[in-house]
Amino acid sequence: MSVPPGTDGGGTTTLVVRVENKAGVLARVAGLFARRGFNIESLAVAPTEDERFSRLTIVVGVDAAPMEQVVKQLDKLVNVVEIRELNPAASVERELMMVTVRADPAIRGQILDLVRVFQATVLNVGYDEIMVSLTGSPSRVDDFEDLLRPYGIVDVQRTGKVALPKLVKTAPDPLAP
Amino acid sequence: MNMNGGQALMKALEDEGVDILFGLPGGAILPVYDPLIDSSIRHVLVRHEQGAGHMAEGYAHATGRPGVAMVTSGPAATNIVTPLCDAYMDSIPMVVVTGQVPYAAIGTDAFQECDTTGITMSVTKHNYLVTEAADIPQVIHDAFHIATTGRPGPVLVDIPKDIVDPNNPRSAMEWYTPDSHDLPGYHPNRAGDSELIRQAAKLICEAERPVIYSGGGILKARAAEALLELAELTGIPVVTTLMNRGGFPDDHPLCLGMPGMHGNYTAVTAMQEADLLIALGARFDDRVTGKVAGFAPLAKIIHVDIDSAELGKVRRPDVAIQGDCRLVIEDLVKALGELGGNESQPDRNRWRSRISGWQERFPLTYEQSKDDELLKPQYVLEQLRDATPDDTIVASGVGQHQMWTSQYWKFNHPYTWVNSGGLGTMGFAIPAAIGAKAGRPDRMVWAVDGDGCFQMTAQELVTAATEGFPIKVALINNAYLGMVRQWQEMFYEERYSEVYLTRDVPDYKMWAEALGCVGLRVESPEEVGPAIAQANEINDQPVVVEFRCEAGENVFPMVPAGMSNSDVVVDPSQQDRPR
C-alpha cells in the first residue's frame, strides 16, 4: 500500500516549515491552525543555519485536517517561506525526552540496565529518583517511556519531533554525459 | 533628509499615491495628525472608526485603488475590526494605520492599549507592529504591495506613539525611499500554466451545456473586458455572483444574472443542469452552491483563481488554474483561437433554448401594491434604477434590500456595485457610499439601505454633509429586520422573535435633517418618481428618501439554507409552472 507524502500511516503528517525569524510568526502559524480547525500534535521551533529564518517541525493529525488545505493556507502567510511535507520513510526523525523515574536504591540497577540498553544518558540522581534523557526516533522514545512507566514516572518532558529528509544514496554516474 | 517618524509616515503614504485618508484622531495617533496638516493628502473626519474602514472599502470598490484609514489605539482599533474582516472576506485592498501606546508601554495594560496586531491577525492579509521609526518607509511600501497584489486584502500597520512623536528621540530618523521588497515568503502568482489553459480550452470545446460562473475576482483583476471577449467568442452564458455584479453587463444577451440563494431561477438552474462550469475568480461560497453535494451535479469544473487555496477547497476541479483572472482569460481566448475560435464550439442551440425557456417562465416578479398597501420595495428599486444614469454607483447594506437591489438593478458597468458579500455587514451602505463618492466624485452615488442597517451607521451622514459628499440614500423602511423576519415566517412557523423595529421611531425625515441632509418621505407609488427626481437634482447636500414599504414582502426565488439548488423556491405566483 502506498503511503501519501508526509504520512506515516499512524494518522499524522509532518510539515517542516521555514519561516521568517520575526516577532509573532509562531502566533500566526498557531492561530491559523486554530481558526481553520486543524489540530497540532506536536511543534518544535528553532533558528536555522541562516539567522533570518526559523524552522518549525509540525506534526498534524491527518484525520482532522484536509492536508492540502493546511499547506495552502499556511503558504498564504506572508512570513512562511517554504513548506515541506515529510514522508517518514524518506526522512530521519529525532526526538528528545527527559524523564524522572522513581528509583529506590534496591531497583535502581534495573533502571540503569534499561538506560544501557537504550544508550540513554543519566542526567541527575536523587536518593530515590533518577533523571535520564534519550534522543532517538519517536517510536524508540515511546518504547523507552513505556518500559520506564511501571517504575513510576515522576516527570516527563518530550520536545516533539524534528526531521530532515534522507540523503541521496546513489552517486551520479561519473561516465554520464 | 532628517525627519521624525510621523513626517515619514505621511511622506510614505504620499509616495504610495494616497490622495484621501479616512480617519479620526486620538491619543496614540496624535503626533501623526500634526504633519497631516502640511500634507497633500485630504483627510476625511469620520464620526465612528467603523465608518472610516467602510469608507476606505467603498473607495477601493469604486476605484480599484487601495482605500486608506487611520485611527488611534484601543477602542478605535477594535472599532475598525469589522471593516477589516469585511475587506478580508471580500478581498478589498485596504491599508489601515492604527496608533499604539509607546513601545515601552506595550504589554502593561496602558490607557487605550489593546493587542491590535493580535486581534486583527485573523482578519487581515498581513499586519505589522512597527518598532523603529526607521522601519516606517519600508513597512508602508510593503503594506501597499501586499494589499494590492495577488488576492487583494486589508493590511494593518500598528505604530507606537514614541516612534512618531517629535518630542521623543526614538522618532528621529533619516528618510529613504524604499525601492524593493524583502518578502521572501510572498510570491503573488500572475500568469496561469499554459498547458492547463490548453486543457481548459479543450473542455470548453467539448461542452454541450457550459456556464461561465464569474465571481469577484473578475473585478479585482480588472478582467471585465476579457470576460466579455471570452463569452462572445464562445457564446457561453454568464452568471455574475453578488461580488461580480457589473463585471458582465446585465443587458448583454448572454448574461443570466445572479446565482445562489436569492439568485434568479435561470442562473440557479442553468448551473444545476450544466455539463461544464467555468469558474473565474469565484470561490464556491455556500450562498452560491447551496448544499454542496447537490450543486451542479453533472458539471465538470474549470476553476481559475489567484489564490491556490480556493482551488479544491469546496469542489474538486477537473482543471485548476492558479493565476490572475485577466491574464488567464486572455490566454484562454488565445488557446481557443488556436483550436478554431468560434468554429470550435459545438452546436448549443438546444441549451440556449432551454435557458430562454426558463427565462420566459420564471422571470423576477412581484405583485404591485394594492390600494391600501404601502410601497413594494421592488417597485421602488425599479423606479430608482430607471430614473438614474446608467453608470450610477449603488452601495447597499445587508439583507432583503441588498438582494432586491442586486436582483432588480441593471448593472451594465464594472465598479458600480458596492456591497458587503462575504461578511454580510449591516450598516455598510452609508459609509461605503461616502467612500465611493470620494473616489468617484463625478458619479451619482446612491446607497440603498434598510431601516435596520440605517440605524447602525447613520451618523456618517454627518461626515457626508460636512465633508461635502452629496450621496443619496434610498431607505427601504419596512419596520423590520426584514431578512430575519422572512426566515422566521418561512422556517420558524411565523413565530416572530425580536425582529420588529417600529414604523415611526425614529422619525427618519427629521433624523436626516438633523444630520445635515435633505429628508424626504414617500408613502404612495405615485410619489416615488417625483421624490427620486427631486433627490437627483440635489448636488450640494446628502439626501435621504424614506420609502415606507410593506413589511410582509419576501425575497424570491430562495434556496432554503442546507437545501440543494434544485429545490429553489420560486415566487408563489410561479409555483405551478412546469420546470
pLDDT confidence of residue B336 = 97
Considering only the C-alpha atoms of chain B, give the largest distance between any 2 of them, rounded to a whole number of Å: 78
- Counting one residue from chain A and one from chain B, the pairs whose CB atoms sit within 8 A come to 37
Contact A49, A89 (CB under 8 A): no
Residue A46 in grid coordinates: 528553532
Measure in Å the smallest separation between the Cα of A74 and chain B Cα atoms.
9
The nearest alpha carbon in chain A to B309 belongs to: A72
Q: Is A2 a residue whose pLDDT tops 60?
A: no
Q: How many CA atoms lie within 13 A of B571 on its CB side?
A: 14
Angle B355-B357-B360 (CA atoms, 0-180°, nearest 5)? 115
- Give the pLDDT of chain B (579 residues) as one tens digit per residue: 899 999 999 999 999 999 999 999 999 999 999 999 999 999 999 999 999 999 999 999 999 999 999 999 999 999 999 999 999 999 999 999 999 999 999 999 999 999 999 999 999 999 999 999 999 999 999 999 999 999 999 999 999 999 999 999 999 999 999 999 999 999 997 899 999 999 999 999 999 999 999 999 999 999 999 999 999 999 999 999 999 999 999 999 999 999 999 999 999 999 999 999 999 999 999 999 999 999 999 999 999 999 999 999 999 999 999 999 999 999 999 999 999 988 889 999 999 999 999 999 999 999 999 988 999 999 999 999 999 999 999 999 999 999 999 999 999 999 999 999 999 999 999 999 999 999 999 999 999 999 999 999 999 999 999 999 999 999 999 999 999 999 999 999 999 999 999 999 999 999 999 999 999 999 999 999 999 999 999 999 999 999 999 999 999 999 999 999 999 999 999 999 998
Interface with A, mutate which of B308, B310, B314, B322 (most A CBs under 10 A): B308
Measure in Å the smallest separation between the Cα of A80 and chain B Cα atoms.
5
ipTM: 0.90
Interface with B, mutate which of A38, A71, A76, A82 (most B CBs under 10 A): A76
**Structural Rg of chain A based on CA atoms:** 20
B125–A20 C-beta distance less than 8 A: no
B556 as an active site residue: the answer is no
Helices (H) and strands (E) in chain B, counts: 22, 20
Angle B268-B274-B275 (CA atoms, 0-180°, nearest 5)? 160
Q: Which CATH superfamily is domain A92-164 in?
A: ACT-like. Chain A, domain 2 (3.30.70.1150)
Q: Which residues share a beta bridge with A91?
A: A165
pLDDT confidence of residue A62 = 72
Angle A88-A92-A97 (CA atoms, 0-180°, nearest 5)? 100
Q: Is A1 a residue whose pLDDT tops 50?
A: no
Rounded Cα distance between A82 and A98, Å, is 31
Backbone angles phi, psi at B577, to 5 degrees: -75, 145
Question: Which of B125, B161, B220, B437 is an active site residue?
Answer: B161
pLDDT confidence of residue B406 = 98
Cβ contacts of B309 on chain A, cutoff 8 Å: 69, 72-73, 75-76
B272 as an active site residue: the answer is no
Task: Give per-residue burial for B170-197: e unless 16+ CB within 10 Å, then b.
Answer: bbebeeeeeeeeebbbbeebeebbeebb
The nearest alpha carbon in chain B to A83 belongs to: B185
Q: Which of B335, B312, B406 is nearest to B364 (CA)?
A: B406
**How far apart, in Å, are the Cα atoms of B497 and each of B107, B489, B500, B506?**
43, 10, 8, 20
Measure in Å the smallest separation between the Cα of B122 and chain A Cα atoms.
7
Asked whether the bond before B542 is cis by omega within 30 degrees of 0, the reply is no
Measure in Å the smallest separation between the Cα of B7 and chain A Cα atoms.
26
The nearest alpha carbon in chain A to B308 belongs to: A72
B483 as an active site residue: the answer is yes
B49 as an active site residue: the answer is yes
Backbone angles phi, psi at A34, to 5 degrees: -65, -50
B184–A69 C-beta distance less than 8 A: no
Q: Which of B130, B205, B136, B120 is nearest to B176 (CA)?
A: B136
Of the candidates B121, B129, B185, the beta carbon closest to that of A31 is on: B121
Give the helix/strand (H/E) hosting B4. Answer: strand B2-4
Whether A12-86 and A92-164 share one fold: the answer is yes
- Band (pLDDT 50/70/90 cuts) for residue A52 is very high
Q: Which residues share a beta bridge with A124?
A: A131
Measure in Å the smallest separation between the Cα of B562 and chain A Cα atoms.
21
Cβ contacts of B146 on chain A, cutoff 8 Å: 78
B184–A20 C-beta distance less than 8 A: yes
Q: How many CA atoms lie within 13 A of B288 on its CB side?
A: 27
Of the candidates A19, A68, A78, the beta carbon closest to that of B186 is on: A78
Question: Which of B7, B11, B49, B310 is an active site residue?
Answer: B49
List all residues 6 or more positions away from B241 whose beta carbon is below 8 Å from its beta carbon. B213, B214, B215, B216, B258, B259, B260, B282, B285, B288, B421
pLDDT confidence of residue A3 = 40
Interface with B, mutate which of A38, A72, A83 (most B CBs under 10 A): A72
The nearest alpha carbon in chain B to A70 belongs to: B309
Of the candidates B146, B309, B313, the beta carbon closest to that of A78 is on: B146
Q: Which residues share a beta bridge with B172?
A: B4
Mean pLDDT, rounded, for A110-136: 97
pLDDT in tens, A7-42: 444 678 899 999 999 989 999 999 998 888 888 889
Cβ contacts of A24 on chain B, cutoff 8 Å: 117, 121, 129
Could you tell me if B308 lies within 8 Å of chain A, comparing CB atoms? yes
pLDDT confidence of residue A7 = 47
Question: Which of B483, B488, B547, B553 is an active site residue?
Answer: B483
DSSP 8-state class, residue B219:
H
Question: Three-state SS across B30-67?
Answer: HHHHHHHHCCCCEEEECCCHHHHHHHHHHHHHHHCCCE
Rounded Cα distance between A44 and A56, Å, is 6
Asked whether the bond before B249 is cis by omega within 30 degrees of 0, the reply is no
Measure in Å the smallest separation between the Cα of A93 and chain B Cα atoms.
26
A35–B309 C-beta distance less than 8 A: no
A68–B183 C-beta distance less than 8 A: no
- Band (pLDDT 50/70/90 cuts) for residue A74 is very high
Of the candidates A35, A72, A80, the beta carbon closest to that of B308 is on: A72
pLDDT confidence of residue A158 = 95
The nearest alpha carbon in chain A to B313 belongs to: A69
* β B300-305/B276-280 pair status: parallel
Number of other residues whose CB lies within 10 A of the CB of residue A75 = 16
Contact B312, B288 (CB under 8 A): no
Contact A126, A111 (CB under 8 A): no
pLDDT confidence of residue B466 = 98
B126–A78 C-beta distance less than 8 A: yes
Contact A118, A134 (CB under 8 A): yes
DSSP 8-state class, residue B176:
-
The domain locations on chain A are 12-86, 92-164
Q: Is A6 a residue whose pLDDT tops 60?
A: no
Residue B497 in grid coordinates: 422573535
Rounded Cα distance between A93 and A166, Å, is 9
pLDDT confidence of residue A177 = 66
Domains of chain B, CATH where assigned: 2-174 (3.40.50.970), 194-361 (3.40.50.1220), 377-548 (3.40.50.970)
- Burial (CB < 10 A; 0-12, 13-18, 19+), residue A163, is buried
Cβ contacts of A27 on chain B, cutoff 8 Å: 118, 121
Residue B104 in grid coordinates: 515601552
Residue B102 CA to its chain's centroid (Å): 35
Measure in Å the smallest separation between the Cα of A3 and chain B Cα atoms.
21
Could you tell me if B292 lies within 8 Å of chain A, comparing CB atoms? no
Interface with B, mutate which of A38, A69, A78 (most B CBs under 10 A): A78
Under DSSP, is residue B444 helix (H, G, I), strand (E, B) or coil? Answer: coil
Domain A12-86: give its CATH code: 3.30.70.260
